Amino acid sequence: MIRPILLALLIPVAALAADIPLAERRSGYDFMSAGTQEMQREDALNPGMLWVAEGEALWSEAPSASAKSCAGCHGDAAASMRGVATRYPAFDDRTQKPVDLSQRINACRETHQQQPGYPAESRPLLGLAAYIGFQSRGLRVTPPDDPRLREARARGQALFSTPMGQLSFSCAQCHDDNWGKKLAGSPIPQAHPTGYPIYRLEWQSMGSLQRRLRNCMTGVRAEPFSYGATELVELELYLNGRAAGMAVETPGVRP
């Protein structure tokens, strides 16, 4: 009789222990070279600021004669969008699903501006996400404590520790168990999504968290989930909870 109880007690504890304690949480920034760190730190050097500037221009630009601009409803982004990015993904009442920031931007565009959503990874979408994320730079990641998100977050966590691809690696095997070590000469970071969208030197461009997640999946030779897939949003949701309390860095620069 004792054994099943012990097992039942051990399993949740083991699941919790996988989370990196707040004091040990380190941004990907800490694993970069001094030069790349400076590139992120100095706005004049940070190519992500080009996308922020793009988003800033789009913010106050009406997409058509009959539609309002973002600023037409939300006003000054510095005030209205401050802290918003720290809370995404969040639960969307309309679709009854968790949505990430890019999906929220597109939903706003479709319902309030009567425009087609921007394609995934398109310049205006990354620009707006970068501009909105930028308004939270330096603030702490504060995942919403919404009971409706719990199941999706748990699914994200399960996916995080599910081995995938021909190499049969889970996210957790690298980013929970072996962070700080090297993989093919590159440091393994803890995979905190604090700087998204990021300017990645390898991409020579800006990219979203979903692009980065798909990238890792291709790396372990798994077929990546498509852009906007529920699984990716659930992973994002789990990652945001896992990074709770860390500072937002958008626009981040990564090697």
Partner 1 sequence: MVRALINCPKTAKKGEIVEIKTMISHVMETGYRPGADGKVVPRDILRRFTVRYAGEEIFSADLYPATAANPFISFHTVATQSGTFSFTWDGDNGFTQTETVAIIVT
Nearer to partner 1, 16 or 44 (CB): 44
Q: Please identify which residue in 18, 19, 26, 45 interacts with partner 1, judged by CB under 8 A.
A: 45
CB of 171 vs partner 1, minimal distance in Å? 27
Question: Which tokens go with 83?
Answer: 């802290």
Given a contact cutoff of 8 angstroms between Cβ atoms, the answer to whether 49 and 39 are in contact is no
Span from 16-24, 50-58, 96-104, 105-113 in contact with partner 1 (CB under 8 A): 50-58
Q: Any idea which residues carry the catalytic annotation?
A: 216
* 35 binds partner 1 per the rule CB under 8 A: no
Burial of 111 (0-12, 13-18, 19+ CB in 10 A): exposed
Given a contact cutoff of 8 angstroms between Cβ atoms, the answer to whether 128 and 71 are in contact is no
Nearer to partner 1, 1 or 44 (CB): 44
Q: How far is CA 191 from CA 60, 85, 108, 136, 173, in A?
A: 33, 17, 29, 19, 12
* Euclidean distance between CA atoms 130 and 53, whole angstroms: 9
Span from 77-85, 94-102, 169-177, 201-209 in contact with partner 1 (CB under 8 A): 201-209
Span from 39-47, 108-116, 177-185, 187-195 in contact with partner 1 (CB under 8 A): 39-47
* 130 binds partner 1 per the rule CB under 8 A: no
Q: Per-residue b/e over 57-92, b at no fewer than 16 CB within 10 Å?
A: ebbeeebeeeeeebbeebeebeeebeebbbebbbbe
* 71 binds partner 1 per the rule CB under 8 A: no
Nearer to partner 1, 91 or 203 (CB): 203
Given a contact cutoff of 8 angstroms between Cβ atoms, the answer to whether 189 and 255 are in contact is no
CB of 53 vs partner 1, minimal distance in Å? 5
Nearer to partner 1, 53 or 71 (CB): 53
* 204 binds partner 1 per the rule CB under 8 A: yes
DSSP letter, residue 122 = -
* 36 binds partner 1 per the rule CB under 8 A: no
CB of 248 vs partner 1, minimal distance in Å? 21
* 158 binds partner 1 per the rule CB under 8 A: no
* Euclidean distance between CA atoms 134 and 127, whole angstroms: 10
* Euclidean distance between CA atoms 22 and 245, whole angstroms: 7
CB of 201 vs partner 1, minimal distance in Å? 8
* 54 binds partner 1 per the rule CB under 8 A: yes
* 50 binds partner 1 per the rule CB under 8 A: yes
The full DSSP string for 46-92 is: -THHHHHHHHHHHHT--SSSSSPPHHHHH--HHHHTTTTGGG-SEEE
Binding site for partner 1 (CB under 8 A): 43-45, 47, 49-51, 53-54, 57, 201, 204-205
